[in-house]
Structure 1
Amino acid sequence: MTDKNTRKPLVLVDGSSYLFRAFFGMPNTLTGPDGRQTNAIHGVLNMLDSLRKKYDPEHMVVVFDAKGKTFRNDLYPEYKATRPPMPEELRYQIEPLHEIVLAQGYPMLVVPDVEADDVIGTLATGYDGDVIISTGDKDMAQLVNERVSLINTMNDAFHDIQGVIDKYGVRPDQIKDYLTLMGDKVDNIPGVDKVGPKTAVKWLAEYETLDNIIANADKFKGKVGEYLREAIPRLPLSYELVTIKCDLDLSCTGESLSFTKENTARLVELYEEFGFRTRLSKLKESNPEVMAELGELAPTEGGMPIVEEITDVDYQCILTEEQLDEWMDKLSTTKLVSFDTETTSLNYMDARVVGLCFSIEPGKAAYLPIGHDYIDVPQQLDYDMVLARFKPLLEDPTVLKVGQNLKYDRSVLLNHGIELKGIVHDTMLESYVLDSVSNRHDMDTLCSKHLNHQTIKFEDIAGKGKKQLTFNQVTLEEATPYAAEDADVTLRLHRFFAPQIRALKSDVPNQEKLYREIEIPLLKVLSDIERNGVLVNKEMLAVQSVELTTRMAELEKEIFEQAGEEFNLGSPKQIQAIFFDEEKLNLPIIKKTPKGQPSTAEDVLQELALEHEVPRLLLEHRSLSKLKSTYTDKLPLQINDTTGRIHTSYHQAVAATGRLSSSEPNLQNIPVRNTEGRRIRQAFVAPEGRCILAADYSQVELRIMAHLSGDEGLLSAFSSGTDIHKATAAEIFGVPLEEVVVDQRRAAKAVNFGLIYGMSAFGLAKQLNVSRGEAKKYVDLYFARYPGVKAYMEDTREQAKEADYVETLFGRRLYLPNINANNAMLRNHAERTAINAPMQGTAADIIKLAMLAVADWLREGTTNTKMIMQVHDELVFEVDNDELDLVRNKVVELMTNAADLAVPLVVDTGVGINWDEAH
């Protein structure tokens, strides 16, 4: 055991104290490439450099105050109430500073509900050895003793016990009394009026303690004595406010706060982003492999990567411990690992690992089989031994990983108790951010498109159809090139995408930030939501299936009676014969197919149903049939045997606007506006003692329209909290707000939503069942009342035609290849998309930011809440009944603060024992 007197001291850094001192003490001319101040970041980093050089500590931590109020605000609501708000120029430096500190390898703590002082006090008190506290805060002097000293690196002042006495005139054990007597104007802590440092020192020199001063208060003469006696009732509270808590229940100790390996790749990105040229230069000099770490290996020409043609590959199959040792050495010392798993199933909840694949340089990769079980399979390394050896490496955040759809691999590894960390890149998401219009981002497509390489297909080695083998049954001779290729081409794809992603930093910085700060972190959040799953009552669904079958039979009978004969309700040809034959129903032909036949498409049937009964009944039958086959019959089959829950799959790289989609089952399409759809939602239930909380953004796309257009009428309506549809109705119909009737509000709602989706007067007329002239009048009146909206739409169209793309508020680019097409239909659709996509895309970005914020809070572990679904603009949670108020308030706070718009974001919440009740 190391002697505590010979080991290096524990260094505790009051990051928040230095943050403010650096901001106000260093030149505000220190700025990054975007012109924003970086002086606070510079100052704190310089201070950390100085401390590390001076003490060379083994154990060190940087502690920052958490956002929000602390227990002291509960004791005294006016605590710090007089402080001016944090300057915006400082606020936006905090998060980057945190990132840099962590990337440099420093342990960092941000503990909610307390202050950095309390965290430092607890760590200092619990450490069996010398402690150096780096701070400029006088409150910390109360912690000084034989083991604990203070240093202020801003002026290099050092304070042990004698140093405290020399500076303040009192001993460290008297500091709390000293601070209580004086009070603190900055923190709004009341003391004794007119008592400053000299008086406090004088009193404590004579009476030793605050208690003795209070006990002898009658002996104090004159006005100051009156002030003391008047203050006595409030002094115990002030004493409690200035006292640093030293008994927090922390998840770490001083001994556990050791440095981690610096994340060189992230530091390069951050130093470049904030213009730290000297630090960047030194980092590259000391890390010659840094470019490899960043994936900047592929040669480029004119800023674009040149595809590397690799014809001779080296793919190894690892079957011996010697091979494993060799590869483990390579993997643990490399900067970027391309990683993939081969598994027994595509269902991430049931899948088990069959083998691991990895590559660290193009053309070279390995497959480590551990779960193949066909007859005469060669001897493989022990399953549990391999996973145990890989667990530290896979869970090491400093070993950076790239993969293709790593959300799946993360989830499968969790089935084995391994949490995949260090996910810095995902080729599927790289492709998606660079080109969201392309709806195929699978590995085979990306390799063919970008690498001019045809991959080995799964069907080539496993067969097709019912006879298809699972991967554990595939021979090692065939499995090895297939699996190793996955890791190899993933690395090569990343090398192709990486320069383009990094180019976004200068060309489209918000889009690069969107990839790094939204899409990549969201991968883990979605994985957690998927694995949480949602409880479904299969008995309730079985009853609904029977009821739907009965109702469908009734509809079928009624259709046949009105049609005068039976026919196949699923046959377009037979429907044509019944609907349009002159001797049968003789319905009007609204549209024809390319082959000249009368169309029976959904939109045609909907128009016919406005005036004819059989099409209406047929549409109802189709709707019920879809609900039955898609949900009430299928959902029970999708309940996981182990968890008893349904686990959907969320897709980040499908919708061009950035919206998430889901499958197996598709939770986005369960109807909410009809009784049958709501009954299906009733089967999504909470366990006993828990409830479902749904939090839904209210009219978020209209609010985004108000923000983007800057229209004064819309801004005023939303800012005042007026019902936007009633406000629009009042404007369009020229009536006072209080006199708007239901039909007028309905028409205004159709206009509000219709216009942002590019609906024409013709479409609006159909929806409202009015003439086209009447609908056009509504549109014209709308634009007359909200001219900013019309100007925004016109400007957006023109900008899109010039740039071939539009952007969301957060920089997501949505490319419009047909915006200048000669074909009027394609061009008009692109123009409608140009207007809607920024709103829909911004809404998608906002819900993702909200999910990240809520997930960060849930990870703190203060509640037992689970985020179980995301549907459009709604987040759904499973909450303990006794935590409901806390969770609801926090979720609403985080969601409303996810974005800063010119109008407030509003979140509606609902609670129930099932999803329908909560909606």
Structure 2
Amino acid sequence: MPTLYLIDGSAYIYRAFFALPPLSNSKGFQTNAVYGFTTMLLKILREHRPDAVAVVFDEKGPTQRHEEYQAYKAQRPPMPDAMSAQVPYIHRVVEALAIPAIRLAGHEADDIIGTLARKAEQAGHDVVIVTSDKDMYQLLTPRVRIYDPVKDKWIGEPECRERFGVEPARVAEIMGLMGDAIDNIPGVKGIGEKTATKLIGQFGTIEELLRRVEDVTPARTKTMLIEQAENARLSRRLATIQTDSPVEFDAEALHVKPAHEDRLVELLRELEFTSLLKSVQPSAPQASIHDAAVETIESESAARAFVDRMGKTETVAVHCLLSGPPGVRADVQGIALSAASRTAFIPLDVHGYMRPITALFHDATRTKAVHDLKSVLLALHRIGVTLAGPYFDTMIADYLLNPNRRDHGLDTLALELLDHRLGARESEPAPAASLFEVETGSHEQAAERAAAIAKLAPLMQERLREQGSLKLFQDVEMPLVPVLADIERNGFLLDVDGLHALSKELERELDRMMESIARLAGGEFNINSPKQLAAVLFEKLALKPIRKTKTGYSTDEDTLTQLAAQHELPAQILNYRTLSKLKSTYVDALPELINPDTKRLHTSLNQTVAATGRLSSTEPNLQNIPVKGDYGLRIREAFIAPKGHELLCADYSQIEPRILAHLSQDPRLVGVFAKGEDIHMATAMEIFGLPSSQITREMRRAAKTVVFGIVYGISPFGLSQNIGVSQAEAKKYIETFFEKFAAVRELMDRNISDAKTKGYTTTILGRRRPIPELHSGDPVQRGVGERMAVNSPIQGSAADLIKLAMINVHRKLHEDLPHVKMILQVHDELIFEVPEHDLDEAKRLVKSEMEAVGKQLNLSVPLKVDLGVGKNWRAAHP
């Protein structure tokens, strides 16, 4: 039988809006409801292939239920502004997909769906109602089912009987008794779903129940029914979905038709739904991205001829066909080049016809356009090939243009900017985008990617110029890539035996803690089971619960921290969790990640992840190695220098407060750093009104938390939690800081105001960060946006500064101390592996170059770098 899908459009607008985070496009327009709704529609069309389909929406204005009962839905808050702004786009999506949208003044979507379902059934159709609304259960028949696409769940008559204990026709009777708080249907106060189900199961209908009310037990229920009989009848009428609305079923009009492809693509582009764009299949094969046939170079003469045809300074696009894991272990399977409207693929043979190509790669007058340059530099190094700058990395260019976007894959850029789906053939889906672009694939795919890079580079360069980001790209981001490649290649030496010994020690300590926990709990239980832990804490020990979740009382870290004040057990559980995580995440995991060829640990440092401009570390994340606690510090002891070497750690002192001083030009703050004083001591003296001799360590720590809290937009509540004082006292600390350093408050207000006007913040070097949250209809999201507007110029400027330092130090070491290796960057700290005989010169060079960045940026305050030296990371940390 033909199948008609009836989609509850209004319900899914709400569901998508509240289920998804407040996604926004680069213009700051919130898109989460449109995205969720569109994804649902495409899923239905693609996976279920209905014969006919319609989306039914509520129309504005009162309905017949409002006429009968004025309080109907009266308590519902108005639609949030951020949601209502998306509704027109949802209507445009439905229209672009050529799906009929049905709405009728004075009639609710439920009633239209009910009417169409009955008429379609009578006309010989099977019907699927796409909804999550339990009210719709009353429409179920052998030929009418419900489908919930979010849960991927089908509901028919058996599921209705299992859920309510009655046939679908009796569901409205149950709803009439129990009422509905969402729609403000009163029901019979005091009767819930369980009692309603039992009564309807016994009496069949509300009318029969009221007719035989004397048979009802207990007496209390009987009294409620007698007193609220009219409410029950009214509620049943309100809860009953009408099947006689004035809407006609026209099978031909509802038959699925081809989407208006041009309109759909244009709309998805406007909304920046790149992943959905990839899923929309073209109706015909797309044109080749190559301007001429792809050459396969298999001789030195062919390689030379290809190079000779290029202009002397023409940009060449390079794409390596890689295999294996990303990073330092990736292998080159072949190289694709694109330039001068020609594209070629080179099956790798470094001993023969690669010579003209390597000469091309060494040419320092020619720009090399690449996507994910770092992975290419690492892979080429493994085969003894150097790719000299200048570079143009399309992945990093997109990151500067769209820092809030997660996907900077080449597939995304080609689709968005070139209207070309990489790897797509007729009826063949596009390959998934990859952050690292490390892939196996055909020669044709590699050549296609090189051609795409060649076409993207000039487009993206012009966009960077228009945005004012080209100088940042050329002077900071591009020179940084080979520095990061060197750091990753160098790796960090690990004391594996020491970690194995620590693992055994931790195992013994965890066993001892388990015994102590069992003693405190009065018996053994599964510590990793939240349900069992909750039973011990809140039933056995009778501690007062802090917070309830959907599955029971919370036993998360915040809850246990608060409960630790009442009993020793929660504190022990926290200690156990901390040690267990240290053991599994670091002590046991790190040795498994050592490269078998180099015997070292090689992290990946990523430029295109954090919107602030900071680098991130993955596989493994070495920026999260614990810096506090005995066992955390002992893990750092396992990061060692080889024999005859020392580790040198160079850490910028109080970098973010110094940038805050520069940006705010607060005279007191600038003066503190100009005199070489300790900002945290100075802040403590101002807040507590005491001379330095009377400032305790606790006071200085509190002042330090205030300073960094100000930078990150902390609230009095957050500060009170961090330093263990009342909210009133925390508020007083913050207010005192702003009284003493008034220009800081002016800077923050100015940052928020400018970001609201422009839509983005900028760093000292002009790095942009869009903050669409500032225009959100949700006050919580606006608050998040304001904190971002305060912090991003400071944190982003710190990120730019450390990148410049890395570039300068790396260049100087290469010139003067080539045996000194930079092996890691962690936030404001650089770590070097230094031969013992180069140590003094390395300390002088690193400190000098890092502190000189302040003058390079014309900072109003001097930079200060603290140095530490040792045989391991713990000993070397300043």
Q: Normalization by structure 2: what TM-score?
A: 0.63
AA in 1 matched with 2:462: P
Q: Deviations over 1:364-415 (max 9, x none)?
A: 6333233xxxxxxxxxxx5531434422121222232101111111111111
Alpha-carbon displacement from aligned partner over 1:694-724 (angstroms, at most 9, x marks no partner): 0000111011111111222212222222222
For residues 336-355 of structure 1, the aligned pairs below 5 Å read 336-355=315-334
For the residue of structure 2 that corresponds to 1:834, the secondary structure is helix
* Distance in 2, Cα, partners of 1:359 & 1:863: 34
Between Structure 1 and Structure 2, how many residues are aligned? Answer: 585
The residue identity in structure 1 corresponding to 2:324 is S
Q: Aligned AA for 2:655? A: V
**In structure 2, C-alpha distance between the alignment counterparts of 1:909 and 1:788, rounded to whole Å:** 32
Match of 1:590 in 2: 546
- Distance in 2 separating the partners of 1:742 and 1:463: 57
State how 1:165-204 maps to structure 2 within 5 Å. Answer: none
Judge conservation of contact 2:483–2:807 (CA < 8 Å) in 1. Answer: yes
Distance 1:746 1:397 in 2: 51
Correspondence 1:402-417 to 2 at 5 A:
402-417=369-384
The alpha-carbon distance between structure 1 residues 310 and 854, as it changes in their structure 2 partners (threshold 3 A), is farther
The residue that corresponds to 1:420 in the other structure is 387
Alignment of 1:275-424 (within 5 A): 311-314=287-290, 316=294, 318=296, 320-321=298-299, 324=303, 326-330=305-309, 335-360=314-339, 365-370=343-348, 382=349, 384-424=351-391
Q: SS of the counterpart of 1:898? A: helix
The 3-state SS of whatever aligns with 1:819 is: helix
In structure 2, C-alpha distance between the alignment counterparts of 1:680 and 1:462, rounded to whole Å: 44
Question: Do structure 1's residue 446 and structure 2's residue 424 form an aligned pair?
Answer: no
Which amino acid is the alignment partner of residue 590 of structure 1? Answer: I
CA displacement at 1:319 relative to structure 2? 6.0
Do the aligned residues in 2 keep the contact of 1:863 with 1:883 (CA within 8 Å)?
A: no
Matched, 1:756 2:719: no
Structure 1 residue aligned with 2:89: none
Identify the residue that residue 918 of structure 1 maps to in structure 2.
876
Matches within 5 A, 1:629-708: 629-708=584-663
User: 1:829-868 residue pairs with structure 2 within 5 A?
Assistant: 829-862=784-817, 864-868=819-823
Match of 2:500 among 532, 535, 542: 542
- Distance between the aligned counterparts of 2:373 and 2:853, measured in 1? 26
CA distance in 2, matches of 1:551, 1:774: 39
Report the residue type matching 1:391 in the other structure: T
The one-letter amino acid paired with 2:344 is A
SS of residue paired to 1:398: coil
1:388/1:704 CA distance change after superposition, 3 Å = same
Q: C-alpha separation between the residues in 2 aligned to 1:346 and 1:311?
A: 32
Structure-2 residue corresponding to 1:490: 453
The answer to whether the Cα contact below 8 Å between 2:337 and 2:345 also exists between their aligned partners in 1 is: yes
Q: Which amino acid aligns with 1:419?
A: T
Q: Which residue of 1 aligns with 2:85?
A: none
* Contact preservation (8 Å) 2:309, 2:340: no
Structure 2 CA distance for partners of 1:570 and 1:452, relative to 1, 3 Å: farther
CA contact (8 A) 1:535 1:684 kept: yes
Q: Which amino acid in structure 1 is aligned with residue 701 of structure 2?
A: R
CA drift of 1:524 comes to 0.9
Quick one: distance in 2 between partners of 1:750 and 1:783?
A: 14
1:361 and 1:491 in contact (8 A); partners too: no
Identity %: 41
Q: Which amino acid aligns with 2:296?
A: I
| Distance verdict in 2 for CA 1:838–1:603, change over 3 Å | farther
Alpha-carbon distance in structure 1 between the residues aligned to 2:356 and 2:465: 34
Higher relative contact order (CA 8 A, sep 6+): 2
| TM-score of the superposed pair, with normalisation by structure 1 | 0.60
With over 3 angstroms needed to count, the CA separation of the structure-2 counterparts of 1:539 and 1:824, relative to structure 1, is same
Structure 2 vs 1, CA of residues 864 and 602 (structure 1 numbering), >3 Å: closer, same or farther? same
Task: Provide the rounded CA distance (Å) in 2 between the counterparts of 1:700 and 1:660.
Answer: 16
Alpha-carbon deviations, 1:158-198, whole Å to 9, x = none? Answer: xxxxxxxxxxxxxxxxxxxxxxxxxxxxxxxxxxxxxxxxx
Deviation per residue, 1:123-178 (Å, 9 max, x gap)? xxxxxxxxxxxxxxxxxxxxxxxxxxxxxxxxxxxxxxxxxxxxxxxxxxxxxxxx
Distance 1:331 1:635 in 2: 47
Residue 818 of structure 1: SS of its match in structure 2?
helix
Alignment partners' CA distance in 1, 2:865 and 2:297 = 56
Residues of 1 paired with 2:866 and 2:481: CA distance? Answer: 26
By how many angstroms is 1:634 displaced? 2.0
Query: Could you tell me how far apart the structure 2 residues matched to 1:871 and 1:891 are?
Result: 16
Q: Distance in 1 between matches of 2:478 and 2:359?
A: 22
- Once residues 602 and 668 of structure 1 are traced to their aligned partners in structure 2, the CA distance between those partners, rounded to angstroms, is 22
After TM superposition, the structure 1 = structure 2 runs for residues 32-111 of structure 1, keeping only pairs within 5 Å, are none
Aligned residue for 2:423, secondary structure, equals: coil
Question: Structure 1 residues 624 and 692, CA, compared in 2 at 3 Å: closer, same or farther?
Answer: same
How far apart, CA to CA, are the structure 2 residues paired with 1:555 and 1:425?
Answer: 55
CA contact under 8 A between 2:817 and 2:842: conserved in structure 1? no
- Counterpart CA distance in 1 for 2:376 and 2:870 is 34
For residue 452 of structure 1, report the CA deviation from its aligned partner.
4.2
1:353 positional shift: 1.7
The answer to whether residue 780 in structure 2 is matched with residue 813 in structure 1 is: no
Confirm or deny: 8 A CA contact 1:318 1:324 kept in the other structure: no
User: CA, structure 1 residues 612+785, in 2 after alignment: closer, same or farther (shift >3 Å)?
Assistant: farther
Aligned to 2:484: 526
2:234 is aligned to: none
| Contact preservation (8 Å) 2:311, 2:340 | no
Matching residue of 2:726: 771
Task: Please list, as runs of the form range in 1=range in 2, the aligned pairs for 1:876-915 lying within 5 A after superposition.
Answer: 876-899=831-854, 900-915=858-873
Aligned partners of 1:635, 1:915: CA distance in 2, in Å? 15
Q: In the superposition, relative to structure 1, how do residues 319 and 522 fare at CA in structure 2: closer, same or farther (>3 Å)?
A: closer
* Deviations 1:204-223 (CA, angstroms, capped at 9, x unpaired): xxxxxxxxxxxxxxxxxxxx
Query: Which secondary structure state, in structure 1, belongs to the residue aligned with residue 773 of structure 2?
Result: coil
Distance 1:369 1:904, change over 3 A: same
Structure 2 Cα separation of the partners of residues 397 and 527 of structure 1: 19
Give the SS at the match of 2:369.
strand
Partner of 1:385, secondary structure, is coil
Alignment gaps of 5+ in structure 2: 1-276, 278-284, 433-437
SS in 2 for 1:367: strand
Give, in angstroms, the shift of residue 514 of structure 1. 0.9
Structure 1 residue matching 2:832: 3-state secondary structure:
strand
- Could you tell me how far apart the structure 1 residues matched to 2:566 and 2:477 are? 48
What is the one-letter code of the residue matched to 1:686?
Answer: A
Correspondent of 1:559 among 512, 517, 522:
517
Q: Any idea what SS the aligned residue of 2:540 has? A: coil
Matching residue of 2:136: none
Q: CA deviation at 1:602?
A: 3.5
CA distance in 2, matches of 1:335, 1:848: 29
Distance of aligned partners of 1:357 and 1:578 in 2 relative to their CA distance in 1, 3 Å threshold: farther
1:731, 1:606 → 2: CA distance?
31
Helix, strand or coil for the counterpart of 2:354? helix
Deviation readout 1:313-340 (Å, 9 max, x if unpaired): 4563626437545434345757111101
Residue of structure 2 equivalent to 1:568:
526
Aligned to 2:825, the other structure's residue is in SS state strand
Over the aligned positions, Cα root-mean-square deviation in angstroms equals 3.0
For the structure 1 residues 556 and 391, does the alpha-carbon distance in structure 2 shift closer, same or farther, using more than 3 Å as the test? same
Alpha carbons of 1:462 and 1:773: their partners in 2 closer, same or farther (altered >3 Å)? closer
Q: Shift in Å at residue 658 of structure 1?
A: 0.6
| Amino acid of the structure 2 residue aligned with 1:843 | A
Secondary structure at the aligned position of 1:889 is classed as helix
